[in-house]
Structure formats: C-alpha cells, structure tokens
C-alpha cells in the first residue's frame, strides 16, 4: 500500500482475498452506479420541477405502469446473480482441502492460544508456512469469540460448546493482524495478535525449536492420566469401544442411528458420554465435564485422530506428525 495511513482495503495475503475483493469491487461499482443514478434523478427532477408560485400544482401525468414491472424484475434477477456469486465463495471457504496442515486454536478471555500438531504452543502469535492450506480447529474456554484474519478475508466465531474449523492459504510471507471480532468483555479490543507467515523452510526451522512432544503423544499421556485406557483397550475385551481406527468412520449407536466419528462427536463423547452410546455397550462412562481443559481436549483429540490414521491411513492422507512437509 502506498498510502499506509489511509488504506482502502487491506493487503491481499490469502488465496481467498482476491476472490472476496472481486465481489466487493463489483458490488461497489454496481450499487454505486445505481445509487448515484437515483441521487442525480431525484436532484435533477426536484430542480427541474421546482415549485415556482406557491400555489403551483403538479401536472396531471403518471409515468407508464410498465416501470413497476421493470424495477421489480430487474433487481430480482441481479440479486439472484449476487446470491450465486456469494454462495460460491462461501462454499469455497467451507470446503477444507484434504492436505491442510492442522492447527488447533483456543480462545479465552482475552488471548488466543495456538497449538501445532508437533506440540509447539504459542499465545497471540501464529506461525504458519506460506502457500499451504492451514486448517484451524477451534473452541472457546469461556464466552463466544471470533477469530478474524482481515488480510486473509476470513473469520469464524469460536464457540464454547463445540469445535468449529476454518481454513486459509497464505500467499505471501509477513506479519498480519489477528483480531477478535465477537465482543467478549473488558479487553475484547486487546484480544489481538499476529500471524507470521514464513517460508516453509523457515517454518520447519521454527518447528524444530523445541517442544514438549507432539500433540498426539501428549494426548496419549493424558489418555493414561485420565485412565481412559482402562476401558478403551486396544482389543475388543474392554468395557468401552476400541478407539483405534475410529476417527472419520461411521458409528452405529444404541438407537440404531449412525453418526460420523468427527471432532465434535469425540468431544461430545468425552464431555457428555450418555448422549450417543455405541451399540452394544453399556452407558457406564462418567462425564469429564469440567475436568478436561480445552487444551487437553485438543490433545486427546489429536491422539484419537493419530490412532485412527495408524490403522486407516488411506482415508486421511494428511500426516499429523512431524512429517509435515511442504508440497
């Protein structure tokens, strides 16, 4: 930006940005033309037909009725076009690429915590490689927040009761704003940070800079700490279902419905185990509501995901471990 003090739009730093800006600019031209047209018409007519003597009356003339049909039909057609364009963008954003790098985020009053699959943790800063899709799975520890990357043209509300995910692919290296966009209390405007987009080699170097073990291995320790492994054994003898190979599969429940074992199913099964009991098992698992923090929950999730991939690598090709190399 030439005039850094007076930007008209933020830098385009993601694959998504130029698509959003294209629709924005199209809408400015379209609505600007129509609005200015209306202003000039009103102003012009109001001058042309201004009342000269005080008692002057209007001419007894009505414009043709066909105008009504015109200005109902034409805007409706234009609106449908905008609807399609806007929805196309929205779909694009909702569909996470398969090879996305997984990152976990937690919002809490008033900071952003990020965890990398390899175990690195950071607060209010997020290091990501350039030119690689990044998927952020996130939850809130308290109120609703909203993770907003203006330079990537994307945001998503972060909820306290379930996982949500968003993705982006940065197209240039640098430092870009992170804001919280959903009002969350006293220091809402201080819940900000920076995303550091790095060259892949730099990112690898940064990742190598020490960690407490991968998220999955930390999750495995928690799996033992919370004594999950006493019931969820690796063979079919346990009182709970086997978790290896579970992630991403369909599960048949005791009421004969099926659900997909995704992030939110695993989360719910830990916090509210009676909600969806697997067919053939007794509803004996205690709730872990209030005992497992969001950080730990994400590690447990990473662990369950990792053993899911060990047995069924074909369904989820993205390597979750330290093997994360750039394409």
The residues in 66-95 that bind another protein, with binding defined as CB under 8 A, are 67-68, 71-72, 75-76, 79-80, 82-83, 85-94
CB of 202 to another protein, least distance (A): 25
Question: Per rule CB under 8 A, is residue 259 in the interface with another protein?
Answer: no
- Contacts made by residues 279-283, CB under 8 angstroms, sequence distance 24+: 279/252, 279/253, 279/254, 280/254, 281/239, 281/240, 281/241, 281/254, 282/239, 283/254
Nearer to another protein by Cβ, of 63 and 210: the residue is 63
CB of 291 to another protein, least distance (A): 12
Rg (alpha carbons) of the chain, rounded to whole number: 27
Nearer to another protein by Cβ, of 5 and 250: the residue is 5
Compute the half-sphere exposure of residue 201: CA atoms within 13 Å on the CB side of its CA: 0
The phi, psi pair for 4, rounded to 5°, reads -65, -30
CB of 294 to another protein, least distance (A): 12
8 A C-beta contact, residue 174 and residue 132: no
8 A C-beta contact, residue 141 and residue 107: yes
Question: Per rule CB under 8 A, is residue 255 in the interface with another protein?
Answer: no
Question: Per rule CB under 8 A, is residue 299 in the interface with another protein?
Answer: no
Contact region for another protein (CB under 8 A) — 3-11, 112-120, 225-233, 246-254? 3-11
- Taking residue 28's Cβ as centre, other Cβ atoms within 10 Å add up to 10
Contact region for another protein (CB under 8 A) — 32-40, 130-138, 223-231, 247-255? 32-40
Question: Per rule CB under 8 A, is residue 154 in the interface with another protein?
Answer: yes
Calculate ∠ Cα 174-180-183, nearest 5°.
165
8 A C-beta contact, residue 289 and residue 301: no
- Taking residue 282's Cβ as centre, other Cβ atoms within 10 Å add up to 9
CB of 113 to another protein, least distance (A): 18
Nearer to another protein by Cβ, of 42 and 284: the residue is 42
Candidate list 290, 314, 317, 323; residue touching another protein; CB under 8 A: 290
Q: Which tokens sit at 61?
A: 């003339």
Considering only residues 189 through 228, tell me which ones interact with another protein, judged by CB under 8 A.
189-190, 192
Nearer to another protein by Cβ, of 12 and 131: the residue is 12
Nearer to another protein by Cβ, of 94 and 208: the residue is 94
8 A C-beta contact, residue 106 and residue 83: no
Q: Strand 125-129's sheet: what is its strand order?
A: 125-129, 193-198, 174-180, 145-149, 154-158
Site string for another protein, 174-193 (x = CB under 8 A): ---x-xxxxxxxxxxxx-x-
3-state secondary structure of 250: strand
Contact region for another protein (CB under 8 A) — 138-146, 211-219, 225-233, 276-284? 138-146
Q: From CA 311, how far away is CA 229, in angstroms rounded?
A: 18
Nearer to another protein by Cβ, of 128 and 139: the residue is 139
Question: Per rule CB under 8 A, is residue 278 in the interface with another protein?
Answer: no
Nearer to another protein by Cβ, of 188 and 276: the residue is 188
């Amino acid at each position: 930006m030439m005039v850094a003090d007076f930007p008209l739009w933020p830098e385009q730093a993601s694959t998504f940005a130029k698509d959003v800006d294209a629709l924005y600019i199209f809408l400015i031209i379209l609505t600007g033309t129509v609005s200015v047209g209306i202003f000039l018409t009103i102003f012009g007519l109001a001058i042309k037909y201004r009342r000269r003597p005080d008692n002057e009356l209007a001419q007894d003339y009505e414009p043709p009725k066909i105008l009504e049909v015109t200005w109902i039909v034409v805007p409706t057609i234009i609106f449908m076009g905008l609807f399609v364009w806007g929805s196309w963008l929205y779909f694009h954003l909702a569909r996470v690429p398969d090879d996305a790098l997984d990152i976990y985020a937690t919002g809490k009053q008033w900071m952003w915590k990020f965890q990398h699959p390899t175990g690195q943790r950071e607060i209010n800063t997020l290091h990501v490689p350039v030119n690689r899709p990044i998927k952020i799975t996130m939850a809130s520890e308290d109120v609703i927040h909203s993770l907003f990357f203006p330079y990537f043209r994307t945001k998503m509300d972060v909820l306290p009761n379930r996982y949500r995910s968003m993705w982006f692919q940065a197209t240039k290296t640098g430092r870009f704003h992170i804001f919280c966009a959903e009002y969350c209390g006293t220091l809402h405007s201080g819940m900000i940070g920076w995303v550091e987009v790095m060259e892949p080699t730099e990112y690898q170097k940064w990742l190598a800079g020490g960690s407490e073990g991968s998220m999955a291995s930390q999750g495995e320790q928690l799996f033992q700490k919370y004594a999950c492994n006493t019931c969820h054994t690796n063979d079919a003898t346990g009182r709970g279902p086997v978790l290896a190979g579970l992630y991403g599969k369909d599960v048949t429940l005791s009421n004969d419905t099926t659900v997909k074992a995704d992030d939110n199913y695993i989360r719910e099964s830990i916090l509210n185990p009676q909600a969806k009991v697997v067919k053939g098992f007794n509803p004996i698992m205690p709730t872990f509501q209030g005992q497992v923090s969001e950080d730990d929950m994400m590690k447990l999730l990473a662990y369950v995901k990792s053993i899911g991939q060990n047995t069924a690598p074909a369904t989820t090709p993205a390597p979750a471990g330290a093997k994360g190399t750039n394409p």
